[in-house]
Structure 1
Amino acid sequence: MIWIPGGTFAMGSDKFYPEEAPVRRVSVDGFWIDATPVTNHQYAQFVAATGYRTVAEVAPDPAQYPGMTPEMAQPGSLVFHKTVVPVDTGNPANWWRFDFGADWRHPLGPESDADSLGLWDHPVVQIAYADAQAYAEWAGKDLPTEAEFEFAARGGLDGADYAWGDELAPDGAMLANYWQGLFPFANQLLDGWERTSPVGSFPANGYGLFDMIGNTWEWTSDWWSDRPDVLRKKDPQSCCTVSNPRGGKLKNSFDPSQPGVRIGRKVLKGGSHLCAANYCQRYRPAARHPEMIDTATSHIGFRCVRRHPSMA
């Protein structure tokens, strides 16, 4: 883990997507954060020690999902499938498919295998929020808040568009694992990777952290809101600095005890290997995305934090 001393920074962006705005002054206390996303090897150690089964490995309850037939109630998760021709990028169903048998051990479907594919040093994927939370608790850690993640991802470059400056590929250098070319059918592979890459394959940021941008989206502990929650109670133009924000609120309509109500969403940060210039330019510290807490996909992982200075 790397110690981040904390400080005040300009959180958000006014240049890209509306949910990132407005830019506001935020401060965070110091914290430890994993230098890389949690890998398949690390997650396997957790599973071996606890016998934990991920959300994707458990058949869903049809009572919780209106319209689901018993035949559909099988373990599985969402897998990205590259298209062969241009498609409507307004419809994610053109490239996402729920594959029975896909889980963290079989990230691309039942015929894939993390061991045979040599993925032990890649970020673990097919991880729902509860799966990340369970690992963090076992490790004596927590999941980062949105503000903590963004502060760490910036690496000390306050206000820069990317984790390394204001140019995506300076002098043509590939500094993160993202999609080069036209998504979702033409990946030029300038960074050398079609899907995930081994952690640490790209340069660390100013804090010595790897893969804070690209490779996989990462879970945070904050509930999603379309606008930063701290701005709902104050003037967005306020000069005041917000300390250690805990963004978003659990929606009143979310109740796990009620069949069919599964809309609780957490904030994802960092972007992934599927972010492209023509679709989802979220390979940036300010970028944020909502994800339903019961959803696992082939491009979502996580890393952990500790908030006590003496905990290495």
Structure 2
Amino acid sequence: MSQEVLIGHDVVGLPGGEFTMGSNEHYPEEAPAHRVRVSAFGIDRDPVTNRRFALFVAATGYRTVAERPLDPADFPGAPAENLVAGSMVFTPTAGPVDLRHLSRWWTWRPGACWSRPEGSGSSIDGRGEHPVVQVAYEDAVAYAAWAGARLPTEAEWELAARGGLDGAAFTWGERARPEGRVMANTWDGPDFPWRSTGESGWDRTSPVGSFPANGFGLHDMAGNVWEWTGDWWSARHSDDAVKPCCVPGDPRGGEVAGSFDAAQPQFRVPRKVIKGGSHLCADTYCLRYRPAARRPQPVDTGMSHVGFRCAWDPAVEEGA
């Protein structure tokens, strides 16, 4: 790993430990709450930024999934002119819409990729310290391998996000906005996806570290961007151990065969777990900027609110 990359990563070494993973209080995929043990590891203080990802691309010539033309074999019958490189971009609606249909506020944009997050004509100029987005799982893994790291497991990510507050609803405690303070870059106000009050100060991503760190000194473990983990999606957690002596160590989530979306059998793309919520999490629609929250993400799909951070083995001392 080059010195330039090492300087770009502020790594926090965590001793691991036992904690309650998941929640029985919110969404069904977070249940059941159960005890797990995690070994010591290191994790980035911040999500990987555009500046860091640009170093990787410059050093390797890497092309992200969103920059590669689509394979006609994967889309039989589709017009050739539609098989262009691009990605999914959040597009605010003109007014209230049926929140059961995500297609109302997500648009496929030709040319959208990590360096043009909103599509052709956009850029990351002035956003070097914002988290990189429009990265598929393969892209995040490639960057982590180049940096000498890996992606965190879901259990590692959740332990880190909790910041020592075992069982708390949020990374900072029990209340979404303690004493009215905005603690994370999430959607402001009740009018998702068409009108934000702008209270957080950002319409999309924000520079990493713009909001308070958690108890471990980690930034953006809530909101800003969802983050890839290395675990396959499963619809629920494992049951809690019957005896304290049987608490599982370093659990690894589901199996690839169970990660597919049964509601869309025509799309045979496995899914990984993403964590942390994003700037699109609205309390009235998606209260998922919590440590226990989790969502499935197809491995081939980058989006304008999905990024990642690296984990490190063996644990790296803080400030490395």
Partner of 1:281: 287
The whole-number CA distance in structure 2 between the counterparts of 1:219 and 1:102 is 19
Partner of 1:94: 104
| 2:233 pairs with one of 219, 224, 235 | 224
SS at match of 2:87: strand
For residue 47 of structure 1, report the CA deviation from its aligned partner: 0.1
Match status 1:201 vs 2:237: no
Does residue 149 of the first structure (1) align with residue 153 of the second (2)?
no
Q: Is the contact made by 1:125 and 1:299 (CA closer than 8 Å) also made in structure 2?
A: yes
- Looking at structure 2, the residues matched to 297 and 122 of structure 1 have their Cα atoms a distance apart, in angstroms, of 15
Alpha-carbon distance between aligned partners in 1 of 2:259 and 2:156, rounded to the nearest angstrom: 27
SS state of the match for residue 20, structure 2? strand
Aligned to 2:301: 295
The 3 A distance-change label for structure 1 pair 159 and 109 is: same
Equivalent residue, structure 1, for 2:83: 73
Post-superposition shift, 1:68?
A: 2.7
- In structure 2, how many angstroms separate the alpha carbons of the residues matched to 1:271 and 1:96? 16
What is the match of residue 26 of structure 2? 16
CA displacement at 1:300 relative to structure 2: 0.2
For 1:264 and 1:15, how far apart are their aligned partners in 2? 27
1:237 CA drift (Å) = 6.1
Counting only pairs closer than 5 Å after superposition, residues 15-34 of structure 1 correspond to structure 2 as: 15-34=25-44
Q: Secondary structure at the match of 1:56?
A: helix
Opposite residue 184 of structure 2, the aligned amino acid is: A
Amino acid at match of 2:242: S
Counterpart of 1:185? 194
2:172 is aligned with 1:172: no
Q: Which amino acid aligns with 1:280?
A: C
Secondary structure of 2:230 counterpart: strand
Q: Which moved more, 1:64-73 or 1:167-176?
A: 64-73
How far is the alpha carbon of 1:197 from its aligned partner? 0.2
Q: Which amino acid aligns with 1:23?
A: A
CA distance in 1 between counterparts of 2:272 and 2:63 reads 21
Cα distance in 1, alignment partners of residues 129 and 314 from structure 2: 28
Selected match of 1:41 from 47, 51, 54: 51
Structure 2 residue runs of 5 or longer lacking an equivalent are 1-10, 261-265
User: Which of 161, 172, 195 lines up with 2:169 in the alignment?
Assistant: 161
Contact 2:65 2:138 in 1 (8 A): yes
Structure-1 separation of matches of 2:258 and 2:278: 30
1:110 matches 2:120: yes
The CA deviation string for residues 207-257 of structure 1, in whole angstroms up to 9 with x for no partner, is 0000011000000000001012x44xxxx4623311100001111797xxx
Alpha carbons of structure 1 residues 81 and 310: separation in structure 2 relative to 1, 3 Å: closer
Output the CA distance in 2 between the equivalents of 1:22 and 1:160: 15
Report how many residues are paired.
300
Amino acid of the residue matched to residue 204 of structure 2? R
Structure 1 residue runs of 5 or longer lacking an equivalent are 255-259
Q: Please give the TM-score of this superposition, normalised by the length of structure 2.
A: 0.91
AA of the residue aligned to 1:108: E
Match of 1:79, SS state, is strand
Bigger shift: residues 139-148 or 184-193:
184-193
Deviation (angstroms), 1:65: 2.6
Alignment partner, residue 238 of structure 1:
242
Describe the shift of the 1:267–1:67 C-alpha distance in structure 2 as closer, same or farther (beyond 3 A). Answer: farther
Q: Secondary structure at the match of 1:187?
A: coil
SS of the residue aligned with 1:130? helix
Partner Cα distance (2:59, 2:138) in 1: 17
- Measure the CA separation in 2 of the matches of 1:211 and 1:310: 20
Distance of 1:208 and 1:139 partners within structure 2: 21
Offset at 1:310?
Answer: 5.3
Preserved CA contact (<8 Å) 1:253 1:261: no
Q: Which of the residues 57, 68, 83 maps onto 2:93?
A: 83
2-structure distance, mates of 1:140, 1:298: 26
Q: CA deviation at 1:66?
A: 3.9
Q: Paired residue for 2:277, among 267, 271, 279?
A: 271
C-alpha displacement at 1:16, in angstroms? 0.6
* Other-structure match for 1:257: none
